[in-house]
Structures are given as structure tokens and as C-alpha cells.
Chain A
């Protein structure tokens, strides 16, 4: 089967090489690379097969279909010889789908739901929760319990109850009856073994028949007898009943009737019981309406919005200016020790930014920070509204300039010296040469990176939140907001530190709006960049 000579004659150089061998007879040859490919495909198929049972369990058919179709497609593409372009396109497409498209689509979907604290379940789950709530009957006694079942533990379930006076009762779904002492078979240790043909279950058997036991309600004069643990039982009353016909939930104690409103069972008076959960539903544009009309959200919104743009633009401009300056300086061929300088400058970039932000927070502490101590001053770095803005920008400058330095150095080295020399020959001063020749060329390469940097800083949650939590607070704001809050940290406060906990619907709606803003600015900038490219 395996053609050994074929292997030695024509060692393949990679997974794609088999296709490039032209018009040979179609055949799979077991070269090491091919075996590797096979193993990889096996892993992909294995993942798919391992994942399918869970999806089948939940009856999630779109998931099952997409896994089967995509897996078969991947197998076909990598085993066939006629699909060379697809072989290169597929990995990128898969990663783009997983990391870009799906999160954006999912965020978009969540923005139109009420998903968040109190509304995370499905409606069926919420009803099941409500119907499984019992109230214990006041003053009712507790029973010692043995759980029994007929037919060697496989048949009907029964509860053997012993009250505090030692009276025994035998309960099945049909009802409760008193037992004479002789009817119970007990071992020497006092452990119940059997009653008639009902035998005691051990915990393993109880675990296997959990669901039946939990739905077992033994009617009695006081209420429903139910097991609390495997060894105790008590009398309870049901709290809620759901009527599927009218789609209403009734509180059996008070008689209050609740109807579903926006994913919560709500009474006629507009109140929802606090002991039962709501569920997640699509609420249309409600979240967007709240953002646009709620006095509380709109209050500080404009200030936050303006500062967000100022912060993002200044961050890019300042870091780029400093980075470029250093790059030009260190690009000078006569400078000694350039490598050492360059390595040192990259340090802030190499540290994790959330660590640096926390360290800066400590350094800038007004009364106990090292910086004020060194300066012998008492500057309110983080506590004064204006100084806090300056501090945030300075720390972001410290964090961001090494990146700009790196890309500027790269771009500078890519510009041929001849161009500069040619401009000198034409009589340009060094400044003119830089401004009119080098800088435009630099921007052609760097503009997309600067736009990306703007988008990044527009949502630079780490620096804002970790350095000063968006503070200091704006006095008199309708909703908590700080002088250095940007939209994303303001959103975080609104959606996760207010209301009843977490409001993913609202957070997603704001995230979508931010996405649109950033996309708009980026699209505009890219168009401007194209104009730059025409220069060259």
C-alpha cells in the first residue's frame, strides 16, 4: 500500500506539498507530513465527536448541524487536491468567525435582551424554580426518615417516618398510614431494613432516584410530607402553581396572581415576587431607549463622551510625538550605545499594563506616595479633577510611547536615505526634508497603526479603571461618574455597579454604540489615509 520509494524520491516540504506534485496518479502517500496532517484532522474530528453528545442532549440542532457540516467540510478540503486556496483560507476564516464575528453578533443580540441579574434563566427554568418552592408549615414537627422502595429497591418509593414520640408512619404517594411496631424490620444497630416488601435504600440508590424523590409529595392532614435530607422529613406547603393555559403563576398562600411581563412574573400592582427568578427575553430597543431617555444615564454622559475623545486623541498624539522623537534621535548613526538605549526604552511596554497602572496608583498617592515624597510637594495627582486628567495622560504616555518608538524606528529605517539626500541636493533644509519628505512617507506606513491605537485608547479600560477608578467623583452627578471616566468605564459602573447587580443587556447596548463610534472614526481616518497614499 505504501510506496516507500515514492517517499525517498520526493520528500514533501509541508502539508501543502502533495498538491504541487502535478499530474501524478492520485494517491495518498504516508509521508511524515501527511501523517501529521492526518493526526491533526483526527484531533479536529475527535473534538467534534466529543462535543456532539452534549449538543444532542440539549437538542441544540443548529449547533449539531454546523459542527457536522464544518467538520466534514474541513476533512474534505484538507484531503482533496482540488482545494488549494481553501486550505489557506480556512484557518483564518475559522479564527475570524470565533474571535470576531460571533462575539459581535452575540453582543448585538444581548443588547436587545434583558439578560442580567434576575433574568438569566429560560422561562421554563424559571417556572420550574417557582414550582419547586415550598414553605415549611409553622410549628410542624420533623420526622426521622428512612427511604424505602418495593421490588428490591426498583419499584414504588415509600417514606418510613418516625416522629419524636416514636410513632411510625408509612407514606407513599397515595397517603400516610400509621404502622404497628412489629411491621418494621430493624437490625441490631436500630437501622431500618424493610417494611413488607419495601426495602431500605442506601445513599447510592437514593442518588440514582433523586428526581422521583424530589417530586414525591405525601399528602397528610397538615400538608405535604417531603424529605429534607436522606434521614429527615418535614411537612411543607407548595408556594406557587403555574397554569400553562392562562400563562399565569399563582401564589397559593396569598392567592396573588402573576402574569409574565418582560421576563418577570408580575402582579397587577406591578410587583414581582423576590423569591423567584425572572427569565431572559428579547425586549427590543428598550436598552437603547434607556440610554437615550434616562435622565440618570444622560446626566454625566456628555462630559464623559467629550473627555473620552480628548483622552484617546491626546494619548495617540502624545505617545506618537514622544516615540517618534526618540526614534529619530536613536536612529542617528553616530550615536553610541543605541542598542542599550533602545532596550531600556521598551521596558514599560514589556510590563503588563494592569500591573503598571496599579503601581502608578501607589506612586501617585497624595499623602503617602513616593512621587510627592521625592518632590517634597503635596500635589493632588489623583484627587484633583484636572490633575487626575493630567496623571491619566502621563501614565498612559509612559505606557504607550515604547510602542510608538518601536513602530517609528521600523518605519524610519524603511525609508531609503537616498530620498533625503535627494531633497538636500534640491536645496531643502533638514527640517524641510523631514517635514516634506520623511514625515509623509512615515505616515503612509504608520497611519493605520495610529488609527488602531486610537481605537485601543478609546476603550482603554485598564488604565482608567486601575489607575484611579475613573475618579475623582463628579460632585452632584445624577449617577456615579468620575472626572476621568471614559465611556467604557462609565458603562462598567452603570451596568455592573448599579441597579440590582449585572445588566448585560444595557452593557451590550452601550458597547454597540461605542463600536459604531469607533468604527465611524476609523472609517473616516482610513479614507484620509488613502489620500496620503496618493502622495507617493
Chain B
């Protein structure tokens, strides 16, 4: 009697369990293998011709600040990870590509582009990563060191793209990504307050401080300090001949040659101390204060990138290169975004076909540009820019002689010491000692 009941029960359980597991599907598998992680805001749209894969949109409780929860790979031949701006483009071109060739393409939206590289590093080696993903060039070295990105032979399309953008995705002699956007900072001038462009940075300082003294403005130069200081101060730093890492004979970076305590770097340190002293630069200007002060006309100049421009619609302004400092040209950091293939891709050949045959075209590159007007990397798109968008043309002019952010993983140990050094300098500390110490800190960190 008892035995019979047990058998019935076990049988029933098994049936129910099978039903439940069928319903749970892949997500359940994910939950059991990675116990503490859960799916978050995944928007996947799957298009296909051979089979009908439903469109699913799951939105679960929003993310907290620091945890990155795993997003399991979508079920399709070709899986793409992109941010919200780029997702519709990949969906559109993926649909055409999939329809033509009878394969299924899924695009998964990752909340922010800055998160994608870390997520790929976590997910790819365990087979949960995408075939294709987008990221910025400054994380390339880390991706290569971790072995999660596949070389992408760009020779066939290289002539259509700006050389600097391709260089940004070159690491140890191999190219790894198809660039689609280039961005850098420039000087933004309020044309009501300052009708004529200053010819030199000294002139800019004079005008700006004069306006503050006259009580017309509150912030002489809205240049973001705090966390982004090394990035935003870099053009002024380069005007003295400063650099981050020196280059060895074979063109690779020399990690023992740190530009901060070079003669040029120390001269720059003195200049920053002087600008801090005169009140031109202020450590307390954060990104928000930069946006607010220039946006409401209480700052005559701002130094920022195309991402901030939408906040400036209440003032008249032009975008132009930062004027030279004591005759030295200002060269901003160039950041490049690109499309890469995971080395753990399930379909690398199809992924490369999609990128090189479908996304390297002017039509696709124009779609990337239209979705988020940052500087294009495609020469054909770039050509029509001056007429269509003077602001972007201004950013492009500023970045014409820019310097690619070093894409080696060691760049990660530069930002914090350098930020600390700028804080010490702008708050009246010993400028040369600050840069010397930062260079030592970087050397120690790089040496491990």
C-alpha cells in the first residue's frame, strides 16, 4: 500500500518536474548554474526566416549600483550585445542579413556600453557570451589579455575608414574591431559672451577672468575636474609636449617611460598650478556644474565632448579647437567605439561576414551616425559632415590631431594617480612633486 503510493507520487513528481523544466527552459538552467545571479533588464528581439522565434521583452527589477548580473546568451545563430542606442541598428541590419541568408539573429541590449566589456569577459569563457559586441578602444588591451576577442582582418575595408580609428583598434599588430564612432573633446564658446575666438590660451584666460571680474559670469572655464580630470586636462597637458607612455622603437609603449614626470610633464604641472591659482580652473567643477554653468550662460567657455551638447540648447555657441598654449598645439584624447567578434563566438565566420560585408558599408555607417551623432569613422560619412552638422565638424577639427587613448591594459593604473595629482595641484599643493609622485605610483602599479 505504502509502496504503491510512493511510486505514484514519484511518477507524478517526475511528470510535473518535466513540465516545469520545459517551461523554465534556458533561464532555469542559468539560475541553477550561477546561483546568486539573476537576469535583469534584457530586451531581446529575435528575427528569423527559417523558424518563428518569439519576441520577448522581460523587464525585471532595476539594477543596483555595483552589481552586474549575468545576462545569458540568447538562443540564435548570431547573438549581438549592444547598448540601447545601437540596438535598433543591429536589429534592422540583422533582420536583413538573417532574411537573406536564413539564419537567426538576436540583439541583446546591455544597459550601458561601459559594461559590455566586463560582461563579455565574465560570460564568454563559460559559453554564455555573444558572437558580436560593441565597446570602446580603451578596453581593447584588457579584452585581448583575457583572450575574449578575435582578430578581425580589416584589410579589405580599411581604405574606407579613418586611419586613426583603425589604429585605435590595433593591438600587438592585429586589428580587432570595426570602428563606427570617434569622439573627443573640444572648446565650446558662448558666442554672446565672447563673439571672437581667442587666438591663444592666454587670451582665453584673460577674457574669461575679465568676465568673472566684471560679474558677467561665475565660472571662467567650465572644464570638468574630479573623476574625469586627466581626460579633460589632456589637451592642455599635451600643449607642453606631455604624453602618457613613451614609445619604444618598435612602436609599442615603453611602460618605464611615464610622461608625467618628463620635463614637458613637469612644465605642464606648473601651468596647471598657475591656472588653479588664477582661478581659471577649479577642482570643484564637476560634470554637473560644467553642464549647468555653461548651459545657463554663467560660463563663457566649456571644454567637453559631443555628449554634453544637447544640454546647451539655451545658449548660442560654437565648437572649435582649444587654442594653443604658449605656441603648443592642444591634442585631445581620441576615443573610438567599434564592433568586435568574441573569440568564444559560436558562429565566428558568420559574425565576421555580417560585420565586414554588411556593417562596413556607408549605408550602415550612416545609420550608426544618425542614431547617435558622434564623429563618424567612415570617410564617406565624414565627408558630408561640415555642411550637415557644424558642431560635429568642430569636434572633428579639434580631434584632427588627437591622440588615441592607449589601449593597453596598463592604462587602468594611470587614471587614479593622475586624478589625485590634479587634485593636489589645483588645491595649491606642490605641483611638480604631485606629478613626480603620480608617475612613481604608475610605475609601481605597472610593475605589479
Q: In the complex, are the beta carbons of A296 and B352 less than 8 A apart? A: no
Asked if B5 contacts A26 (CB within 8 A), the reply is: yes
Cα A273 to Cα B173 in complex, Å, equals 12
- The count of chain A contact residues (Cβ–Cβ below 8 Å) is 89
* Interface check A136, CB cutoff 8 A: yes
The stretch of B149-157, B182-190, B234-242, B307-315 in contact with A is: B149-157
Task: Identify the interface centre among A41, A136, A275, A369: most chain B CB within 10 Å of its CB.
Answer: A275
Q: Could you tell me the distance between the alpha carbons of A46 and B415 in the complex, rounded to whole angstroms?
A: 48
* Complex CA distance for A47 and B8, rounded to whole angstroms: 21
CB distance from A42 to the nearest CB of B (A): 3
> Given that A38-B12, A46-B18 are contacting pairs, would A479 and B423 also be in contact in the complex, using a CB cutoff of 8 Å?
no
Q: Is the interface of A mostly helix, strand, loop or mixed?
A: mixed
Q: Could you tell me if B101 and A204 are in contact, using CB atoms closer than 8 angstroms?
A: yes
In the complex, chain B residues 60-75 whose Cβ is within 8 Å of any chain A Cβ: 65
Instruction: Please state if A275 and B156 are interface contacts (CB–CB under 8 Å).
Output: no
Separation of A81 and B12 alpha carbons in the complex (Å)? 18
Q: CB-CB < 8 A to B13: which residues of A?
A: 38, 41-42, 45, 75
Q: Which residues of A contact B416 (CB under 8 A)?
A: 480, 493, 497-498
Complex contact B28–A47 (CB within 8 A): yes
- The reply to whether B16 and A46 form a contact with Cβ atoms under 8 Å apart is yes
Q: Which of the segments B161-169, B258-266, B433-441 contacts the partner chain? A: B433-441
Instruction: From known contacts A234-B153, A275-B144, A497-B413, infer whether A28 and B16 are also in contact, taking CB-CB under 8 Å.
Output: no
Does chain B have a CB within 8 A of A228?
yes
> Smallest distance from the beta carbon of B136 to chain A beta carbons, Å?
14
Q: How many inter-chain residue pairs (CB < 8 Å) link A and B?
A: 252
Q: How far, in Å, is A488 (CB) from chain B's closest CB? A: 12
Interface string of A45-82 (1 = CB under 8 A from B): 11111110111000000010001000000010001000
Please tell me if the beta carbons of A54 and B29 are within 8 angstroms of each other in the complex. yes
A142 to B361, CA, bound (A): 18
Contact B156 A45 (CB under 8 A): no
**Most chain A beta-carbon neighbours within 10 Å: one of B141, B433, B441, B446:** B441
Q: Which of B21-47 contact A (CB under 8 A)?
A: 21-25, 28-29, 31-33, 35-36
Q: Taking beta carbons and an 8 Å cutoff, which residues of B are in contact with A?
A: 1-2, 5-6, 8-10, 12-14, 16-25, 28-29, 31-33, 35-36, 50, 65, 77, 101-103, 121, 125, 141-142, 144-148, 151, 153, 155-156, 171-174, 227, 282-286, 288-289, 343, 346-350, 352-353, 356-357, 408-410, 412-413, 415-417, 420-421, 423-424, 427, 429-430, 433-434, 437, 440-441, 444-446, 448
Interface residues of A (CB under 8 A from B): 25-28, 38-39, 41-43, 45-51, 53-55, 63, 67, 75, 79, 98-99, 102-103, 117-118, 120-122, 125-126, 129, 132-136, 142, 202-204, 206-207, 210, 213-214, 227-232, 234, 273-278, 295-296, 354, 362, 365-369, 383, 469, 471-473, 475-480, 482, 493, 497-501
Known: A231-B357, A499-B412. 16 other contacts (CB 8 A): A25-B1, A27-B5, A28-B9, A48-B17, A79-B9, A121-B146, A135-B173, A142-B156, A275-B172, A365-B289, A368-B286, A383-B284, A499-B446, A500-B410, A500-B448, A501-B409
